[in-house]
């Protein structure tokens, strides 16, 4: 979801795995440069392979779809809301955890929140393929959030409270993401966007306080909120 390379830390990896990671990053970086220079739709897999100095088949082995080369942090994006809820403090509601996580992301100008930079934002906006894929990723993020909400509340995956809470929280994050992209394309600096989004997020999340104030905060919160959401 970003034009910047990321470094993964953790347990040491073997030489073979390290080489695979290097090759994947090399291909991703070459693709990003071409996408930004000449547009996503206009760039071919063959051109990416040539720029990365690998075979065309190697590119498709690492990236099954062309859009995966541009939106190459999809798992981190689709899992971000679910991870925040799963890792929330004991007794903390899903809303409180997600609200604070978004505030932190805005302060850090996190690409997962939408701070991708003007060139990348323009590339996505100009590409029907990438725009459609991004909508799919927002949908997948909501689905993963709903799954975690169901697990943490002990409700069935198709429970109306789970689906409504996930839809409300997912919609706010989608709207705020789009707003960051809009302001980026309008030429705003990240610092100015962060100031604007702090107020926008405070308002948007505030609208969810009444229906979701205690949702997923603990075993005793489930039944009450289920009734609230049915009103």
Contacts (Cβ under 8 Å, ≥6 apart) of 51:
30, 31, 33, 34
Say if residue 185's pLDDT is above 80.
Answer: yes
Beta carbons of 77 and 139 less than 8 angstroms apart: no
The predicted structure's pLDDT at residue 12: 60
Q: What is the CATH number of domain 74-230?
A: 1.10.357
Q: Which CATH number applies to 15-70: 1.10.10.60, 3.40.720.10, 1.25.40.90, 3.30.70.330?
A: 1.10.10.60
**What are the tens digits of pLDDT across the range 4-37?**
434 444 556 688 888 999 999 999 999 999 999 9
* pTM of the model as a whole: 0.84
Beta carbons of 130 and 124 less than 8 angstroms apart: yes
From start to end of the chain, where are the E strands?
none
Written in H, E and C, the secondary structure of 130-199 is HHHHHHHHHHHHHHHHHHHHHHHHCCCCCCHHHHHHHHHHHHHHHHHHHHHHHHHHCCCCHHHHHHHHHH
**What are the tens digits of pLDDT across the range 45-85?**
999 999 999 999 999 999 999 999 999 889 999 999 999 99
Q: Where are the domains of the chain?
A: 15-70, 74-230
* Side-chain-facing half-sphere of 217: CA atoms under 13 Å: 15
């Amino acid at each position: 979801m970003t034009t910047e390379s990321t470094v993964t830390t953790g347990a040491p990896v073997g030489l073979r795995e390290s080489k695979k990671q290097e090759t994947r990053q090399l291909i991703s970086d070459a693709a990003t440069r071409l996408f930004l220079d000449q547009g996503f739709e206009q760039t071919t897999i063959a051109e990416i392979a040539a720029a990365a100095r690998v075979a065309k088949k190697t590119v498709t082995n690492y990236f099954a779809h062309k859009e995966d080369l541009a939106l190459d942090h999809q798992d981190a994006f689709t899992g971000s809301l679910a991870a925040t809820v799963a890792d929330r403090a004991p007794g903390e509601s899903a809303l409180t955890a997600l609200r604070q996580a978004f505030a932190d992301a805005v302060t850090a100008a996190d690409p997962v929140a939408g701070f991708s930079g003007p060139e990348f934002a323009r590339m996505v906006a100009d590409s029907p393929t990438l725009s459609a894929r991004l909508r799919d990723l927002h949908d997948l993020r909501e689905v993963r959030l709903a799954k975690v909400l169901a697990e943490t509340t002990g409700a069935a995956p198709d429970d109306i409270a789970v689906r409504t809470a996930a839809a409300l929280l997912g919609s706010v994050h989608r709207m705020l993401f789009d707003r960051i992209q809009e302001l980026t394309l309008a030429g705003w600096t990240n610092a100015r966007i962060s100031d604007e989004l702090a107020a926008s997020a405070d308002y948007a999340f505030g609208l969810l306080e009444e229906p979701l104030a205690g949702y997923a905060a603990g075993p005793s919160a489930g039944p009450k909120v289920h009734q609230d959401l049915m009103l």
